[in-house]
Amino acid sequence: MTTSSHSLTPHAPLQESAGGTLRNAVERLCAAQHDGYSRSPSATHQLLPSRDAVIAIVEALRSALFPGYFGDRELTEDSLRFHVGATLDRVQRELQEQIRRGLCFACQEPDPRRCPQCDAHALARAGAFLDRLPEVRRLLGTDVQAAYNGDPAATSPSETILCYPGILAVTNYRLAHELHLIEVPLVPRMMTEYAHSVTGIDIHPGTKIGEHFFIDHGTGVVIGETTDIGNGAKIYQGVTLGALSFPKDERGKLIRGAKRHPTLQDNVVIYAGATILGGETVIGEGSIIGGNTWVIQSVPPHTKVLNETKSTRIEAGK
């Protein structure tokens, strides 16, 4: 049987020399410190939250928040309560474990199996998160209605739940935000980055977003950690709500936690490709930010910001 030229199996004359190179590479890659971060946390019993487990939790929560749309599609009035209850019971146990892993990693406990404080905090925070789910569902209901009201192409609110990437991204964000508020490490960011990878919409879990929020199309939207968005905002694809600069301390290290991203008051509309930067930048209520604009200063309420360009000339073909 012939071996493909692309095979990873080395040719016989090279095996001996390659073995020494391999051993050397293994030793260097397994060194205690390299490239500014520690070697595998699991090698010191510090298990990180599992990305696959977090994704499974998000998908299960979507099936509980929107029963019949995701997961089991053949629910009846009699089976609905059982479905939601069984799903949340499973979520609570798995989420508690992922929270525990994040807490133990953050507190640098050498062996997370011997950290009763993290166990207790994980139990309490998982319970607090579940207690907030009805409010999350209420907020998502306003987002679904905003999507339907804001897009004439939508045939029903159900279509926006099933099909719109903005609803998926905002669902993950609202779940992650609740975990962020109760100071759960790692897991919230994993939730929003999962949505980012699927939709192209990047929302930091620390962002504050009010009711009736709609992202239309969505690809390329970036919303930074300290952004504050009021009720009724509408954002199109390619919008960046970012930082104008990153302040540093006297040692040249980034100052974390400062207000770096803009504030949008109620009922602001931002069209495709607009960039709004800076923690002191406030977009006033009811304002409209035109496409491809660059905004680094505050805008009064009920103002239009437009990008002045030369008019486009259209010539008939021959």
**pLDDT at residue 14 above 60?**
no
Q: Where does 39-200 sit in CATH, by number? A: 1.10.3130.10
Strands ordered across the beta sheet of 269-270: 214-215, 234-235, 269-270, 288-289, 304-305
- Tell me what the mean pLDDT of segment 256-267 comes to: 93
Domain boundaries, the chain: 39-200, 220-309
Q: Is the pLDDT of residue 250 over 70?
A: yes
In this predicted structure, the answer to whether residue 29 has a pLDDT above a threshold of 80 is: no
The per-residue pLDDT for range 189-245, each reduced to its tens digit, is 999 999 999 999 999 999 999 999 999 999 999 999 999 999 999 999 999 999 997
219 contacts 240 by C-beta, under 8 angstroms: no
Does 44 have pLDDT greater than 90? Answer: no
Range in 1-10, 106-115, 255-264 the model is least confident about: 1-10
Q: What is the pLDDT, as a whole number, of residue 311?
A: 72
pLDDT at 42: 59
Measure CA 173 to chain center.
5
Model pLDDT for residues 98-128, shown as the tens digit of each residue: 999 999 888 876 665 678 889 999 999 999 9
pLDDT of residue 317: 77
**Residue ranges of E strands in 211-289:** 214-215, 222-223, 228-229, 234-235, 240-242, 263-264, 269-270, 275-277, 282-283, 288-289
β-bridge pairing 37-38 and 33-34: antiparallel
Sign (positive or negative) of CA dihedral 195, 196, 200, 203: positive
- What is the pLDDT of the chain when averaged over all its residues? 89
The predicted-structure confidence for 30-42, as pLDDT tens digits, reads as follows 775 556 665 566 5
Q: Is the pTM of this model over 0.85?
A: yes
CATH number at 220-309: 2.160.10.10
In the predicted model, is pLDDT for residue 306 greater than 90? yes
- Let me know: does 245 contact 215? Beta carbons within 8 Å: no
pLDDT score at 18: 66
Report d(CA 279, CA 297) in Å as an integer.
10
What percentage of the chain exceeds 70 in pLDDT? 86
pLDDT at 270 over 80: yes
Q: Do the Cβ atoms of 261 and 283 come closer than 8 Å?
A: no
Report percent pLDDT > 90 for the chain.
69
Query: Which of 153-157, 196-200, 252-256, 269-273 is predicted least confidently?
Result: 252-256
Task: Report pLDDT for 92.
Answer: 97
